[in-house]
Amino acid sequence: MAQGFSLKDQLFNAEKTRYLAGLFAAADPSFNAEAFQSRVTARLLDLELKERMAWIAECLQQAVPGDLPDVAPVILKALPPPLDPSKSDDDFGDFIFAPLGDWVVTVGLDHPELALDVLEELTQRFSMEWAIRPFLNQHQDQVLVRMEHWCQHDSYHVRRLVSEGTRPRLPWGQAVGLGLTDPLPLLDRLHGDPTRYVTRSVANHLNDISKKYPELVLDRLQEWSRADQQAADELRWMTSHTLRGLVKSGHPGAMKMLGYDPDAEIAATAQVIGTARIGGALEFEVTLNGKGDQPVLVDYIIHFQRPGGKTSAKVHKLKQTALRDGTLNLSKKHKLKGNATTFKLVPGAHRLEIQVNGQVRAAADFDLLD
């Protein structure tokens, strides 16, 4: 049987460990590359992804003992050249350098200024968005002052760290003691950045905030539009990306900002085609009727059965388009994976809803068969 793709094995493996060992052996003649590789690989395959990061950091700390003032020169000397500065997106770096951030956290919390110097260099090889957060919690003022300077850094990786490192809902990230609105002055400075890697982070950050303060986020986007510090096309993209969570929830203000009328007189019908089975697909058709060629944003919501009789609603994108002469016909086949590890399908009564411009305007019940 063919084995599935393993992200942890692609990111942390014997070859990557050998590469890291070679860098440190070249930087420090006392670094025992063979012993380091043997110790790492002895446990590596038994660990999950984040555990592998922590384990490699622990092995590095044993191989190069001491507090940050002792090990920082070795770390910096071992680093390869920074990531390509001519790029502007999709250059996250090499995951094998992530453990270096864990290492800096372990030996550097009592040396915040030096640690920030090292993280500034590390994030130009791999994002230090997880490593910066313990320093934010223990040395908040110092980190925020440094971030003010980082907003103007030549490297877009360092500028992105300001937004990504302070995000309130960073995946895998330690919670930070910042108020949700505390980083907004930093985002004000970053929203006009010329690189998508940075503006995507800013939009993701605002999306996090919108879950609690939607009106504040809408107001901020309007302020940025008036400030005219970002190209119009990029700001439109940022606005759409920022508001994706509010769009799913049908927030009227988000709809209006994106050019969709939540109160438009639009009638809708939905029809399930055939039989829906686990491992197959839910096939359905939608018809919209309204006035003229008005724009519409159409989502569909599936209310899934859950164990114990509860239901769980999942919102999915269907189409951003416009009516044509007052009519629009859409169809969709939604795959119903029976072997998904993140969401187990349960047979039984289900419900499909069609959301147009944030308002549910049609529904159809169906049975999901095993």
Query: 169 falls in which pLDDT band (50, 70, 90)?
Result: confident
What percentage of the chain exceeds 90 in pLDDT? 89
**pLDDT, mean over the chain:** 95
Query: 2 falls in which pLDDT band (50, 70, 90)?
Result: very low
Reduced to 3 states (helix: H, G, I; strand: E, B; else coil), residue 249 is: coil
Query: 5 falls in which pLDDT band (50, 70, 90)?
Result: low
Q: Which CATH architecture has domain 66-242?
A: Alpha Horseshoe (1.25)
Same fold? 66-242, 267-369: no
The span from the CA of 370 to the CA of 16, in Å, is 43
Query: How deeply is 237 buried, as exposed, middle or buried, from its count of CB atoms within 10 A (0-12, 13-18, 19+)?
Result: middle
**pLDDT for 220 beyond 70:** yes
Segments making up each domain of the chain, as ranges = 66-242, 267-369
71-114 pLDDT per residue, tens: 999 999 999 999 998 888 878 899 999 999 999 999 999 999 99
| pLDDT (mean) for 167-186 | 92
Domain 267-369 in this protein, CATH class: mainly beta
Degrees to nearest 5, angle at CA 57 with 52 and 62: 125
